[in-house]
């Protein structure tokens, strides 16, 4: 008996992770707006990230579509810390483990491989992001310490507090996290 291909689920295209190139800056800016939740910064800011900070940024593509990004840097006074400034996944791709895979691949970038800590600030009203960093810590077998960082009164407009999540000490990444 022949199986009808009309009933078969559509094939899932593989995810492709890479560091951005300067010309990806505009697409990252557009992507940030499409997440509906990430705070959009200027296009110029994303051009800078995709060029000067490219080695600590990662984008996820599926069939050529930008579906996720981790934008980060090393704080100048903490070279062994990889700071996640923005992480996001398009709404229709959430809940499938994409962000977790992206963060693990991001930690394995040559620029981040020797980092002992991953930090990020996570708004008090963002359970998805809170769960993401706690799950990363659990998978890496280390702790996720939460301390005050940007308090409500430090923002010029109404904004929930953004405590600091500090994941580590990270294992040496000769053992792949994914
Ligand atoms: C936060 C975000 C990146 C997570 O992306 P994702 O691909 O859906 O996350 P994953 O599927 O990899 O899930 C990772 C963990 O978070 C949990 N999680 C995901 N969405 C969740 C939600 N809405 N509520 C609670 N937990 C959630 C998952 O259950 C998983 O934890 P678990 O394995 O312990 O159950 C995504 O929701 C997003 O883009 N949000 C908007 C942008 C944003 O707020 N970014 C963070 C601030 S910079």
Query: pLDDT-based confidence at 3, cuts 50/70/90?
Result: very low
Does residue 91 have its Cβ closer than 6 Å to ligand 1?
Answer: no
Domain assignment of residue 48, given as a range: 15-168
Does residue 95 have its Cβ closer than 6 Å to ligand 1?
Answer: yes
Instruction: Indicate which residue's Cα is closest to atom 23 of ligand 1.
Output: 128
Sign of CA dihedral 23, 28, 34, 39: negative
The CATH number linked to 132 is 3.40.630.30
User: Does residue 127 form part of some domain?
Assistant: yes
121: Cβ–Cβ under 8 A, 6 or more apart, which residues?
A: 149, 150, 162, 163, 164, 165
Query: pLDDT-based confidence at 6, cuts 50/70/90?
Result: low
Instruction: Indicate which residue's Cα is closest to atom 13 of ligand 1.
Output: 97
User: Does residue 26 form part of some domain?
Assistant: yes
User: Does residue 90 form part of some domain?
Assistant: yes
Query: pLDDT-based confidence at 5, cuts 50/70/90?
Result: very low
Q: What is the DSSP string of the chain?
A: -PPPTTSSPPPPPPEEEE---GGGHHHHHHHHHHHSSS----HHHHHHHHHHTGGGEEEEEETTEEEEEEEEE--TT-TTEEEEEEEEE-GGGTTSSHHHHHHHHHHTSTTTTT-SEEEEE--TT-HHHHHHHHHHHHHHTSEEEEEEEE-GGGSSSS---EEEEEEESPPPTTS---
What's the predicted TM-score (pTM) here?
0.93
Q: How far is the CA of 75 from the centre of ligand 1 (A)?
A: 24
Q: Which of 49, 92, 99, 144 to mutate to test the pocket of ligand 1 (most atoms within 8 A of CB)?
A: 99
Instruction: Indicate which residue's Cα is closest to atom 20 of ligand 1.
Output: 128
What pLDDT digit, counting tens, does each position of 73-124 carry? Answer: 999 999 999 999 999 999 999 999 999 999 999 999 999 999 999 999 999 9
Instruction: Indicate which residue's Cα is closest to atom 27 of ligand 1.
Output: 128
User: Does residue 178 form part of some domain?
Assistant: no
What pLDDT digit, counting tens, does each position of 65-82 carry? Answer: 999 999 999 999 999 999
Q: How many domains does the chain have?
A: 1
């Amino acid at each position: 008996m022949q199986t009808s291909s009309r009933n078969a689920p559509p094939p899932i295209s593989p995810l492709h992770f890479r560091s951005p190139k300067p010309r990806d800056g505009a697409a990252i800016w557009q992507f940030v707006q499409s997440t509906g939740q990430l705070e959009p910064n200027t296009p110029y800011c994303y051009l800078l990230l995709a060029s000067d900070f490219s080695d600590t940024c990662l984008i996820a593509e599926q069939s050529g579509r930008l579906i996720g990004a981790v934008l980060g840097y090393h704080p100048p006074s903490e070279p062994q810390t990889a700071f996640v400034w923005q992480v996001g996944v398009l709404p229709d791709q959430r809940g499938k483990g994409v962000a977790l895979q992206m963060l693990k691949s991001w930690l394995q970038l040559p620029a981040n491989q020797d980092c002992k800590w991953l930090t990020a600030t996570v708004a008090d009203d963002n359970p998805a992001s809170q769960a993401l960093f706690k799950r990363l810590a659990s998978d890496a077998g280390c702790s996720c310490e939460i301390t005050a960082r940007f308090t409500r009164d430090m923002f010029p407009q109404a904004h929930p507090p953004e405590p600091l999540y500090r994941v580590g000490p990270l294992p040496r990444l000769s053992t792949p996290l994914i």
